[in-house]
Structure 1
Amino acid sequence: MQAKDSNPPDGGYGWVVVVSAFMVMGLTVAVLKTFGLFFVEIQQHFDELASTTSWITSVTIAIFHLGAPVASSLCVQYTHRTVVITGGLLAFSGMALGFFGLNMVWMYATTGFLQGLGISFSWTPAISIVSHYFSKKRALANAIASAGECAFAFTFGPFFQWLISQYGWKGALLIIGGIQLNICVCGALMRPLASSCLEASHCETETPPGNGASRRDTEDKSPVMHKTFNWMLVRRPEFVLYAIFGILAAMSFFVPPLFLVPLSYSLGIDESWTASLLSILAMVDFGGRLLCGWYANLHVTKTIHLLAMTITLISTSLMLLPLANNYLSLALFTGFYGFFFGTTVAIHITVLADVVGMPEFDSALGLFMLIRSTGGFVGPPLAGLIVDMAGDYRAGFYMAGATLVLSAGFLVILDRLQQRKKRGSKIRTKPEKSTLPYPSLHLLKHQ
């Protein structure tokens, strides 16, 4: 990017960055989503309990979220490109070392810890740099980038199954690790923006109407304002409200994939038909992300309003899903859930950028991921407890739907707070009117 550029590209080379982020999403989160195919193989190899084996995925998810603030901090200190390349090397190392399969602790450290850290160091800066490259088309760009997760998950399932059947689970891990080295190539394509572009993006995002000059002066006088990780975001009411929304949403999002298959079995649906539900989920998720990104790009609806609507629709679909009593109705409600889930994922990062502004976005993304992880940890066990108490898998879906309704309430509160501050800003910047009764006296006043 040439230094003379004064605005984020909103296109051009930015689309190369979007495609790179699309690939990174697929090579990280999609791998994590389909790692369950290795579960039985690893469990049988080490002759361990299911609960013991499941800790591999749990460690990966935990490190993925816990490493986000570290990744964001490194992005602020260095460049997104450097962190993504580092993440690719870590992800490869985790899979390659997992190939040796010495014992379960070794698997925790390699395919658990190293893989999770690699995913965190790849995913966080990849999604962040897309927001830096785009302003007007940010929602569409984020939606396309996030869709890589769905596209790759849809193909990785049968592909990983074939790798395991041909090369065994250890050989499959090594091959997947080699494939993940392509993250480094994607990272190399994530060319850093010139500082002038970043400053213009920050000014455009943050400058209130009628106060452009003063804000630009502040930017110019603070050349190191983007060189440190801002932990003080937790003291901003807007960020806190959005983080609470993230916790409640995460409590719900991990529940449906967990109980969808058991619910299907409880309805007497055949295994082959049950597997197709996951394919339906991936396809409609992909479509929902792209469609919502396109619609958000039209700027017809405020993004936070759009997010509140999609969250409400997800909760509605989750409340209706337990009413299914056969494959057709279950597939229909699953499709509704998957579609609206995709629309939510497509714009929730864009809303975060709108809430905190681009100058603090890298820090906010890391903190948001860290705080949101608590919902992901609490949600599934809580839903499992409710299912055990009720003796019915439907109870888990009701719990998820109710939690999402509550999360939408925090979005409404956040929107009201933003509107109130915006009105207050307009009042403060409104020019004073003359109290003198005649224009001639007003002229004399200034002489």
Structure 2
Amino acid sequence: MQAKDSNPPDGGYGWVVVVSAFMVMGLTVAVLKTFGLFFVEIQQHFDELASTTSWITSVTIAVFHLGAPVASSLCVQYTHRTVVITGGFLAFSGMALGFFGLNIVWMYATTGFLQGLGISFSWTPAISIVSHYFSKKRALANAIASAGECAFAFMFGPFFQWLISQYGWEGSLLIIGGIQLNICVFGGLMRPLASNCLLEASHYETKTPPGNGASRRDKEDKPPIMHKTFNWMLVRRTEFVLYAIFGILAAMSFFVPPLFLVPLSHSLGIDESWTASLLSILAMVDFGGRLLCGWYANLRVTKTIHLLAMTITLISTSLMLLPLANDYLSLAIFTGFYGFFFGTTVAIHITVLADVVGMPEFDSALGLFMLIRSTGGFVGPPLAGKLRQLTAKYSLQEERGMVIQTEKIWICTQTSPFFISGVSEPRSALKQIVKIPLLVLLGGFLQKFKLNSLKH
């Protein structure tokens, strides 16, 4: 007897799970991405500094990452469905309680902490269960699910602005919380698979008395006994540690370029109406990149670990070329390249994690990966600000100086995939690593060329 999870269906009801995960991604991360629209309204209402108000999102992001191991642990104790539904209620509670707007600390606790915990409890099991349902088509399924983040972010921008204009920021939070209750509906559609591996299935079969079919079905519907412990010992596995290092370095820069895209366009004298369209371009090409990369990875022409290294190399290159933009058209083109390759990277990095640790340990690995990666997310924005200060005296436009330096962080993210690949193919990995200093030199040459042209 072969377990269902050792031979995932790769289709059928799995596509219902993918659509459900698509919606969960949109109702969680997309809300977080567009929550900046509330900043000015909340800041004016409480008469607080911008830095004080920004802690709402900081708390949300922190709890989102730190709650991932807890969510993964609950998944192995109970089911993915139960955790997602719990996350939906937490996300709704955070927004609904934020409606009262008692004070800024209240906002930290509600739209910050509760919302972040709800996102963590919804996002983590949703992306995890997709990997359990698919094997051969795992990359495509993960890409489709993650694309919900882009699709909803594209729609939520104008929609949230309309809500604020019609109902104020308090009423808007209550309405958004009501919309997030649909996470519970889509979580309910995430039917758990019967078992996780052939060994466990055989164990249940031998332990079940002959003729007791009902007892056997009951046992198969329960989470496997062997997976009722969160595996913290993954940190001892070299390949996981190397991939976690990649996660830290990538998180240092994942959220940085979009933050400085608008200031960069302003420094080039681009009209505000055109500047806003850059974010729309970024969302659209990100969406396309995820779907296309997922489809290509599904063809299995290239190993996913090699494909990830390739996409990171391309996104690094696009960022090194970005400082050459001097008008709206060139900036839009380079933004398109960056957004597309960002989408391709995000589409497969979870799939690569499953390949690195194997599916029996995937739930634990995902929680640990998110926890470790959070350190990069915390360090990235302050480091970006420091780089901006350091480069301001060299550049005639200090916003451009930040973007020029950003690709150095991205270049660092190339090392871990190559090292992981090197565990089994050391010579091939070494040849790829040699290319990294060449990219750094190219970036330095482009910086010097552009800065000299600005001075003249």
TM-score by length of 2: 0.81
Contact kept? 2:200, 2:224, Cα under 8 Å: no
Provide the C-alpha distance between the structure 2 equivalents of 1:144 and 1:113, rounded to a whole number of angstroms: 28
Q: SS in structure 1 opposite 2:233? A: helix
Provide the C-alpha distance between the structure 1 equivalents of 2:306 and 2:203, rounded to a whole number of angstroms: 23
Cα distance, 1:344–1:216 mapped onto 2, change above 3 Å: farther
Q: SS in structure 1 opposite 2:425? A: helix
Contact kept? 2:239, 2:423, Cα under 8 Å: no
Contact kept? 1:201, 1:358, Cα under 8 Å: no
Provide the C-alpha distance between the structure 1 equivalents of 2:70 and 2:62, rounded to a whole number of angstroms: 13
Q: In the TM superposition, what is the alpha-carbon distance from 1:225 to its structure 2 partner?
A: 2.5
Cα distance, 1:168–1:205 mapped onto 2, change above 3 Å: farther
Residue 427 of structure 1 is matched in structure 2 by none
Greater CA drift, 302-311 or 222-231: 222-231
Provide the C-alpha distance between the structure 2 equivalents of 1:312 and 1:281, rounded to a whole number of angstroms: 19
Residue-by-residue CA offset, 1:259-308 (whole Å, 9 max, x unaligned): 11111111111111110000000000000000000000000000000000
Contact kept? 1:20, 1:187, Cα under 8 Å: yes
Q: In the TM superposition, what is the alpha-carbon distance from 1:389 to its structure 2 partner?
A: 1.5
Q: In the TM superposition, what is the alpha-carbon distance from 1:388 to its structure 2 partner?
A: 1.0
Residue 195 of structure 1 is matched in structure 2 by 195
Cα distance, 1:292–1:412 mapped onto 2, change above 3 Å: farther
Provide the C-alpha distance between the structure 1 equivalents of 2:203 and 2:261, rounded to a whole number of angstroms: 43
Q: In the TM superposition, what is the alpha-carbon distance from 1:211 to its structure 2 partner?
A: 32
Q: In the TM superposition, what is the alpha-carbon distance from 1:441 to its structure 2 partner?
A: 79
Q: In the TM superposition, what is the alpha-carbon distance from 1:192 to its structure 2 partner?
A: 0.5
Cα distance, 1:173–1:404 mapped onto 2, change above 3 Å: farther
Q: In the TM superposition, what is the alpha-carbon distance from 1:207 to its structure 2 partner?
A: 25
Q: In the TM superposition, what is the alpha-carbon distance from 1:240 to its structure 2 partner?
A: 0.2
Contact kept? 2:68, 2:121, Cα under 8 Å: yes
Cα distance, 1:234–1:169 mapped onto 2, change above 3 Å: same
Contact kept? 1:6, 1:200, Cα under 8 Å: no
Cα distance, 1:407–1:120 mapped onto 2, change above 3 Å: farther
Residue-by-residue CA offset, 1:106-159 (whole Å, 9 max, x unaligned): 000000000000000000000000000000000000000000000000000000
Q: In the TM superposition, what is the alpha-carbon distance from 1:100 to its structure 2 partner?
A: 0.1
Q: SS in structure 2 opposite 1:195? A: coil
How many residues matched? 416
Unmatched tracts of structure 2, length 5 or more: 395-417, 430-437, 442-449
Q: Say if 2:422 is the partner of 1:412.
A: no
Cα distance, 1:172–1:62 mapped onto 2, change above 3 Å: same
Cα distance, 1:403–1:389 mapped onto 2, change above 3 Å: farther
Greater CA drift, 81-90 or 225-234: 225-234
Contact kept? 2:143, 2:290, Cα under 8 Å: yes
Q: SS in structure 2 opposite 1:2? A: coil
Contact kept? 1:64, 1:119, Cα under 8 Å: yes
Q: In the TM superposition, what is the alpha-carbon distance from 1:401 to its structure 2 partner?
A: 22
Q: In the TM superposition, what is the alpha-carbon distance from 1:205 to its structure 2 partner?
A: 23
Q: SS in structure 1 opposite 2:5? A: coil
Q: Say if 2:311 is the partner of 1:290.
A: no
Contact kept? 1:251, 1:400, Cα under 8 Å: no
Provide the C-alpha distance between the structure 2 equivalents of 1:199 and 1:315, rounded to a whole number of angstroms: 44
Residue-by-residue CA offset, 1:374-415 (whole Å, 9 max, x unaligned): 11110111011011121179xxx999999999999xx9999x
Cα distance, 1:341–1:4 mapped onto 2, change above 3 Å: closer
Q: Say if 2:424 is the partner of 1:403.
A: yes
Provide the C-alpha distance between the structure 2 equivalents of 1:270 and 1:402, rounded to a whole number of angstroms: 50
Provide the C-alpha distance between the structure 2 equivalents of 1:275 and 1:3, rounded to a whole number of angstroms: 50
Q: In the TM superposition, what is the alpha-carbon distance from 1:338 to its structure 2 partner?
A: 0.2
Unmatched tracts of structure 1, length 5 or more: 415-439
Contact kept? 1:7, 1:196, Cα under 8 Å: no
Q: In the TM superposition, what is the alpha-carbon distance from 1:224 to its structure 2 partner?
A: 3.0
TM-score by length of 1: 0.82
Q: SS in structure 2 opposite 1:196? A: coil
Contact kept? 2:80, 2:125, Cα under 8 Å: yes
Q: SS in structure 1 opposite 2:226? A: coil
Q: Say if 2:453 is the partner of 1:443.
A: yes
Q: In the TM superposition, what is the alpha-carbon distance from 1:42 to its structure 2 partner?
A: 0.2
Cα distance, 1:100–1:404 mapped onto 2, change above 3 Å: farther
Provide the C-alpha distance between the structure 2 equivalents of 1:354 and 1:133, rounded to a whole number of angstroms: 14
Structure ID, larger Rg: 1
Q: In the TM superposition, what is the alpha-carbon distance from 1:314 to its structure 2 partner?
A: 0.5
Residue-by-residue CA offset, 1:220-258 (whole Å, 9 max, x unaligned): 999633111000100100000000001001111111011
Provide the C-alpha distance between the structure 2 equivalents of 1:390 and 1:65, rounded to a whole number of angstroms: 31
**Identity of counterpart residues, as a percentage?**
90
Provide the C-alpha distance between the structure 2 equivalents of 1:400 and 1:109, rounded to a whole number of angstroms: 42
Contact kept? 1:2, 1:194, Cα under 8 Å: no
Cα distance, 1:333–1:194 mapped onto 2, change above 3 Å: same
Q: SS in structure 1 opposite 2:263? A: helix
Provide the C-alpha distance between the structure 2 equivalents of 1:442 and 1:97, rounded to a whole number of angstroms: 54
Provide the C-alpha distance between the structure 1 equivalents of 2:388 and 2:139, rounded to a whole number of angstroms: 37
Residue-by-residue CA offset, 1:322-370 (whole Å, 9 max, x unaligned): 1111100000000000000000000000000000000100000000001
Contact kept? 1:81, 1:189, Cα under 8 Å: yes
Contact kept? 1:80, 1:125, Cα under 8 Å: yes
Cα distance, 1:175–1:4 mapped onto 2, change above 3 Å: closer
Q: SS in structure 2 opposite 1:225? A: helix
Cα distance, 1:213–1:319 mapped onto 2, change above 3 Å: farther
Provide the C-alpha distance between the structure 2 equivalents of 1:218 and 1:443, rounded to a whole number of angstroms: 71
Provide the C-alpha distance between the structure 2 equivalents of 1:441 and 1:319, rounded to a whole number of angstroms: 13
Cα distance, 1:265–1:219 mapped onto 2, change above 3 Å: same
Contact kept? 2:76, 2:227, Cα under 8 Å: yes
Cα distance, 1:89–1:219 mapped onto 2, change above 3 Å: closer
Contact kept? 1:318, 1:398, Cα under 8 Å: no
Contact kept? 2:127, 2:145, Cα under 8 Å: yes
Contact kept? 1:249, 1:404, Cα under 8 Å: no
Cα distance, 1:11–1:219 mapped onto 2, change above 3 Å: closer
Residue-by-residue CA offset, 1:70-96 (whole Å, 9 max, x unaligned): 000000000000000000000000000
Cα distance, 1:413–1:264 mapped onto 2, change above 3 Å: closer
Q: SS in structure 1 opposite 2:281? A: helix
Cα distance, 1:89–1:359 mapped onto 2, change above 3 Å: same
Provide the C-alpha distance between the structure 2 equivalents of 1:166 and 1:221, rounded to a whole number of angstroms: 48
Contact kept? 1:316, 1:401, Cα under 8 Å: no
Provide the C-alpha distance between the structure 2 equivalents of 1:196 and 1:327, rounded to a whole number of angstroms: 52
Cα distance, 1:412–1:443 mapped onto 2, change above 3 Å: closer
Q: In the TM superposition, what is the alpha-carbon distance from 1:216 to its structure 2 partner?
A: 21
Contact kept? 2:194, 2:223, Cα under 8 Å: no
Runs of 4+ in structure 1 deviating by more than 4 angstroms, as ranges, are: 1-6, 196-223, 397-408, 411-414, 440-446
Q: In the TM superposition, what is the alpha-carbon distance from 1:7 to its structure 2 partner?
A: 2.6
Greater CA drift, 194-203 or 183-192: 194-203
